[in-house]
Amino acid sequence: MSVFETGLKKGRFVVGQCSKCQKIAWPPNDFCSGCFGSLLWRDLKQPGTLLEHSQKDGRKFCIVEFERAVKIMGVLIEDVEPTIGQNIQLANCGFDKSPRFEFSVVPEVN
Residues of this chain that bind Zn ion (CB under 5 A): 18, 20-21, 23, 32, 34-35, 37
**CA 75 to CA 66: how far, in whole Å?**
15
- Least distance CB 34 / Zn ion (angstroms): 4
- Least distance CB 8 / Zn ion (angstroms): 23
**CA 41 to CA 93: how far, in whole Å?**
17
32/76 with CB nearer Zn ion? 32
14/50 with CB nearer Zn ion? 14
Angle at 51 between CA 54 and CA 25, to 5 degrees: 120
- Least distance CB 24 / Zn ion (angstroms): 10
Strand partners, 61: 54, 75
14/93 with CB nearer Zn ion? 14
**CA 67 to CA 73: how far, in whole Å?**
15
